[in-house]
Each structure stands twice: as C-alpha cells, then as structure tokens.
Amino acid sequence: MLHINDVSKQFQVPPTLALDRISATLYPHQTVAIVGPSGCGKSTLLRIVSGLDHATSGQLEWQVDNPHVALMPQNDGLFQWRTVVDNVALPLFIHKLPPATARQAALDLLAQFELDEFAHAYPDQLSGGMRSRVAFLRTMLAEPTLIALDEPFGALDSMTRAGIQRWLVSAARQRALSILLVTHDVEEAITLADRVLVMSARPGRIIADYPIDLPNRTDPNLRTDPRFLHALTSIRVALEQGAERR
C-alpha cells in the first residue's frame, strides 16, 4: 500500500506549480489510472512515485519494506541487439543473476503468456503490440512493488491497442499486480483500471476518484456495456470541469 500525502511540486524555471497537494491511496493488487488535461502534472506525479523526481512538499508513505517501483515509459525501450528473451531477462542480468538462471526465468514468463515462440527473435522482427507485451514482461520480471505505466500504448493503432489492453487485464489478474497508469485515453483508463483518478488543469489536483466495477474486462463488447458508458460520461464531465479550474 502507498499513501500519497499532500504532494506538491514546484518548478523553479520557469516558476510553475505543477502539482498542488495531491493525496491518494494505492492499494495492493489494484490498477489505478490517472487522467487529466494536458500539462496537469500526471507524468510528474508518476515520476515522483517512481523515485525519478522529488516532491517539493508532502511525502510518500509506503506500507511495505524496501518498495521497488518499475517504470515502463512511452517508448518500449527494447534493445535492438538483444533477443526477446535477453530483453525480458534484463532486470535479472542487472541484479547479477547467472545468465542461464536469468534466461530460464524469462523463458518461463514468456511461456506463461504464450510468447515463448518469439524468445529468440529480435525487437525489429516484432509488431508494435508484441513489443509492448515484451516490454511489459521485462517490467514484470523485476517483481516490483508497483508497476508505473506512462502512456505505454499511445503509439499503437486502435485495434492493436484494444488487444493489448485485454492482454494486460489478464496479465494483471494472473500475477496479482499493482499498477499505476497514466493515460490521456479515458476509455483505456476505464478498461484497465479498478479506479480512475481525475486531475484538474495545472496546478494538478485530484478532483475525483471513480471506482470502476465491470464484470468482464476482456469482453470485446465491453465498451457497449451501460456501466462502461456511464463511467465514461461521468469522467468526461469531471475532466471538463477540471479543465476550467485554475
């Protein structure tokens, strides 16, 4: 569990208050999405949670020992000269595990998600959706306390994106993952998340926390479900209201 307590972020050049007293609680084995207007500080908050930036005030309070956050950015970051299995095994190589042990762990994970036939391919031989899956498995193999995703599927076409969203829902359930997702796509947020946090225009504040209760996230017809459409309308209204706040 992570408590985000009154976190603010002030940039000095130019003087900008990016985040203003953000508070939220992230629970284990839950996917939380953050949506908000462009420039509201979504990615800044993700960087603070990931330990890549520091809050000007406020604090993060983890309820676990030695928390580890793994960040998957917008670019998949796969190394073109490494095979798929070696890309997935990279966190274990970094931790100095024997290469054979690291590769076997990566192969086991690839097999669990039916990607083992691509283990010895190179990234430039993969589709965009496949690259995203490989990058996510690499992040997962690090066994983080929290996986932070910063608009990781933004470059994919809509059909590929829908497929990987369903895949990610299944992966999160199978491994009981804790995920914090930043996205500009409200439909993606509702599809993937157990809760959606809505941020206002800069300085970013959390103005709504919507629980999402949908029975079958992997249903291709999910977006015609009345509950999906109700959540979509409610969140869009909150975004419009938040965009007007200054």
pLDDT, residue 245, reads 57
With b for 16 or more beta-carbon neighbours within 10 A and e for fewer, the 4-39 pattern comes to: bbebbbeeeeeeeebbbebebebeeebbbbbbbbee
pLDDT, residue 151, reads 86
pLDDT, residue 112, reads 87
C-alpha–C-alpha distance, residues 38 and 184, integer Å: 8
pLDDT, residue 3, reads 94
Residue numbers of the chain with a pLDDT score lower than 50: none
22: left (phi over 0), alpha (psi -120 to 50) or beta: beta
Secondary structure (H, E, C), the chain? CEEEEEEEEEECCCCEEEEEEEEEEECCCCEEEEECCCCCCHHHHHHHHHCCCCCCEEEEEECCCCCCEEEECCCCCCCCCCCHHHHHCHHHHHCCCCHHHHHHHHHHHHHHCCCHHHCCCCHHHCCHHHHHHHHHHHHHHCCCCEEEEECCCCCCCHHHHHHHHHHHHHHHHHHCCCEEEECCCHHHHHHHCCEEEEECCCCECEEEEEECCCCCCCCCCHHHCHHHHHHHHHHHHHHHHHHCCC
164-204: pLDDT as tens digits: 888 888 888 888 889 999 998 999 999 999 999 999 998 99
Q: What is the pTM of this model?
A: 0.89
Residue count of the chain = 246
pLDDT, residue 246, reads 53
Largest CA distance in the chain: 55
